[in-house]
Amino acid sequence: MTATLVAVLALIVFLAILAVGVPIGVSMGLVGFFGIMALRGDAAFATLFTIPYSAMASWSLSVIPMFLLMGYIGFHAGYTKDAYDAAYKWLGRLPGGVAIATLFGGAGFGACSGSSIAATAALGRIAIPEMERYGYDIKLACGSVAVAGTLAALIPPSILLVLYGIVAEQSVGKLLIAGIFPGILSMLCFSALVYVRALVSPQFAPKGETVSLAERLSSLKYGAPLLFIFFIVIAGIYSGVFTPTEAGSLGAFVISILSFAMRRLNLHTFTESIFETMRVTCSIFVIVLGAYIFIQFLAISRLPITFAEWAVSLPINRMLIFIGVLAVYLILGCFLDAIGLILLTVPFIFPAVSALGFDPIWFGVIVVKMVEIGLLTPPVGIQTYVLKGVVPHIPVETIFGGIFPFFLVDLFIVIGLLIVFPDIALFLPNKMTG
């Protein structure tokens, strides 16, 4: 049996055990281990001694708990609510202003967390009751909150971009910077959808209350700590003064000091932030560990290289192949979680995309955008179920119905603009010195 055939059979087995409910990290680890055993025999046991340490003792991976800690402290210290309140006071009087404020608030929270789940949970608690109070169409309210949470997947600091950079062996710093403009583009496109919907059907999105200029200006001071932390992280990475890991560590330290100094954080909430960070970090690292064993198996089987050679030899336009890759991500995104999808697919697809001449930084942004879309689509649609947990009185089908228009905008307009104008993602990274 050839190595390629073993790899193909292993992928089939992987999908089968995933379908029966085995966690994705465990699935990748088991299939990778037995795949290596089929190709290399007892040498597979050596991977159990070497890979766990080499995978976990990673300087690049240590940025993940730092970004998570920033996000959880930001949530417990109330910066999420501040970001939303400031956005509401400035944008609430626009048609659909409360929903637009939610999208801007989601971008603000994403700028200090990197966690879509945390952003959706936080915004759901704040924004859904407000929009219900103002008589918003419940589908529009749920859709705007769900997609606002996904902005954290792209706006730096982004855990998904970090994982892509590690697996694809690309600059994590450039990837984080590359997510800025696409994240803003996504926010503006979603906001435009809400604005147009409110103009066409004002009864679905009534205007909010009038807020004085003094109140609007006053709201900015509460968002100042968030902007300060974002500036430290992004400016440090962009200038090359800090590595992403150093920037994440400094950001977590600064937000902790500021929160204690402003009496927004106490020992109990700080401890809770640490425990929540540890829980999520452990779950991510289990997936990473399984993925590294699986990646080792793929490298031995040479399946990614074989696939890359086959893709390059196809007598069709490379953009058609690329659209096929997007279709694969769209389908898999319906069934796999975001982190697992990146760790599973990038080692397999990246060599082919690179061989076809696509920019790896730009492709990383596209991958995260497609994964972000997968966070919204049924049957998994984790953002939907997170939001359902926050607002249990709203049916799941109502939430999915509200997401659908935003899904179309994300897939056809945002992705389309990024494909036609790749400099949206590449302009800032290309200006970096490092």
Under-50 pLDDT residues of the chain: none
pLDDT score at 433: 62
Given a contact cutoff of 8 angstroms between Cβ atoms, the answer to whether 63 and 53 are in contact is: no
Handedness of CA 278, 282, 284, 285 (dihedral sign): positive
What's the farthest any 2 CA atoms get from each other in the chain? 74
Given a contact cutoff of 8 angstroms between Cβ atoms, the answer to whether 144 and 187 are in contact is: no
Per residue in 322-340, pLDDT (tens digit) is 999 998 888 888 777 788 8
Residues in the chain: 434
Q: For residue 276, give every residue at least 6 positions away whose Cβ sits within 8 Å of its Cβ, in sequence order, or none.
A: 68, 72
Given a contact cutoff of 8 angstroms between Cβ atoms, the answer to whether 65 and 277 are in contact is: yes
Q: For residue 12, give every residue at least 6 positions away whose Cβ sits within 8 Å of its Cβ, in sequence order, or none.
A: none
pLDDT score at 113: 64
pLDDT score at 57: 76
Q: For residue 242, give every residue at least 6 positions away whose Cβ sits within 8 Å of its Cβ, in sequence order, or none.
A: 236, 250
pTM, whole model, 2 decimals?
A: 0.87
- For residue 158, which of 110, 229, 119 has the smallest C-alpha distance? 110
Given a contact cutoff of 8 angstroms between Cβ atoms, the answer to whether 343 and 336 are in contact is: no
Cis peptide upstream of residue 315 (ω within 30 degrees of 0): no
pLDDT score at 298: 86
Given a contact cutoff of 8 angstroms between Cβ atoms, the answer to whether 166 and 220 are in contact is: no
Both tokens assigned to 212: 């004085």
